[in-house]
Amino acid sequence: MTAKRGRAEDHRPLLIVGGALALGGLVLALSATRTAQSVPRDQLGLLAFDERDVEAAARMLASENSTGPLSLHVEQLFTQVRQAIKRGVRLYDQITAGSDFGGQGERSTTGRLRPVATGEPATSALLDRARAILSGQFASQLSGAMRFFEPAQSDAAFAIAEEARRKVALGIPLNRRESKLLKYKKNAATVRASWSSHSQLIGTISDVEFWS
């Protein structure tokens, strides 16, 4: 497993060159046209954002790893920022996939599957943290990371899902947690095998793996 990278105390600012912001190999041109079209936007950091984007980011942190260190939260949020920039969408739209807030891998009737969880409400501390990250106060140390998952959590959820599927086959009723976790059909090894066909492991922070 790749050694942990990025420390909370390494808060080097993102490099601004020629009016563009270097972001893990991606360069975001902050043009006057885009800024004007983004009104109302209160700050420009990693990308144009407003309080709806901040809330989505903070809810993701609260739902994925609420007690994680700053270094972990920086990298988790950077994956979604990179995805948003790549797709040319708002951060809120990237995080929620048009399905508003809720569980990872779930969707609303009109949206797509959410790439990350946002079911937990954001605390004031995580709102402040998300706003600071989006304002460009902390640099990513895992350049190119586009997704993440926690192997131990995946294995635990998969084990419960497998037992739930066994119960279903036997006609045994499921509790709420078992029903919710039925969607998990891959353990950590299967996730790695699937991702490694088109991605590579960039690094690990607090037992969370980040992939390109």
Model pLDDT, residue 47: 85
Convert the pLDDT of each residue in 61-94 to its tens digit: 999 999 999 999 999 999 999 999 999 999 999 9
- Evaluate whether residue 199 is within a structural domain: yes
Provide CB contacts within 8 A for 104, sequence distance 6+: 63, 114, 115, 116, 117
Task: Answer yes or no: is 1 within a domain.
Answer: no
Range of the domain at 43: 16-211
pLDDT band at 183 (very low <50, low <70, confident <90, very high): very high
Residue 7 lies in a domain: no
User: Is the predicted pLDDT of residue 11 greater than 70, yes or no?
Assistant: no
The reply to whether 3 falls in a domain is: no
Number of structural domains found in the chain: 1
- CA 173 from centre of chain: 33
DSSP 18-56: TTEEEETTEEEE--HHHHHHT-S--EESSSEE-HHHHHH
Mind listing the pLDDT tens digit for each residue in 157-176? Answer: 999 999 999 999 999 999 99
* % of residues, the chain, pLDDT over 70: 79
Specify if 6 maps to a domain.
Answer: no
- The answer to whether residue 89 sits within a structural domain is yes
The answer to the question of residue 125 being in a domain is: yes
Determine, yes or no, domain membership for 8. Answer: no
Share of the chain above pLDDT 90, in %: 76
User: How does pLDDT run across 123-164, given as a tens digit for each residue?
Assistant: 999 999 999 999 999 999 999 999 999 999 999 999 999 999
